[in-house]
Amino acid sequence: MTSCEALSPVEPLARFILQKAYFRPSDNSVKHNAFMPNKNGETSVYRIQGLADEEVYQIGREHVASILGRTLLGRADVLTSDVLELSLMVEPEPSPHPLHANIVSWPDEKSERKLLAMELAARAQLHLLQTS
């Protein structure tokens, strides 16, 4: 894997949202659950620097939602600097897609992971897809 030095601090990262319980429509905010790491201590994200919205959603549909048999609802964007300021790391992991990366270095203690996920969610920008 490449270290996080390969990413610019201002590079945006998108976490694709497939679950309506992961955001609050009332104020367009993101819930911490959207950023909680999986059992391997990774939160899967995509590097979206320079991509148009439709290109971003195309990645989400083809490489996340359709593989998992879900509907893409939107995405939560954070900057790489937001992640680094919380003492987390971003590691490119291009096996499923060249722009794929993982947020890693989550602490062992669950309450601390929860707190960091809450801080990431507070900084995240929610972009929802229009659904009919």
Partner 1 sequence: MERAQTFTRHESGYPDLYPGDTQQARKNGRMDFLAEFILRRRQSKGDTLSEPQGTAGDTSEDTGSAAQLKLEGTIDWTDLALQQLDRVYDECSQPAWDGYEADPISLDTYLEARKLLSMIPVSLPQPEISAEPDGEIGFEWYKDRYSVFVVSIGGNNILTYAALFGKDCKAHGTEFLGRALPPSVVPNVKRVFT
Burial of 81 (0-12, 13-18, 19+ CB in 10 A): middle
CA–CA gap between residue 79 and residue 125 (Å, rounded):
10
Under rule CB under 8 A, which residues in 33-72 are in contact with partner 1?
Answer: 33, 36, 38-39, 44, 64-65, 68, 70
Q: Is 24 in the site for partner 1 (CB under 8 A)?
A: yes
CA–CA gap between residue 21 and residue 12 (Å, rounded):
23
Q: Is 84 in the site for partner 1 (CB under 8 A)?
A: no
CB of 24 or CB of 62, closer to partner 1: 24
Select from 2-10, 75-83, 91-99, 112-120 the region that touches partner 1 (CB under 8 A).
112-120
Tokens 């390969």 sit at which residue? 6
Select from 1-9, 48-56, 92-100, 104-112 the region that touches partner 1 (CB under 8 A).
104-112
CB of 111 to partner 1, least distance (A): 4
Q: Is 129 in the site for partner 1 (CB under 8 A)?
A: no
Q: What are the C-alpha distances in Å from 96 to residues 10, 22, 45, 52, 122? A: 23, 23, 11, 20, 28
Reduce the DSSP state of residue 19 to 3 states and report it: coil
CB of 43 to partner 1, least distance (A): 9
CB of 37 to partner 1, least distance (A): 8
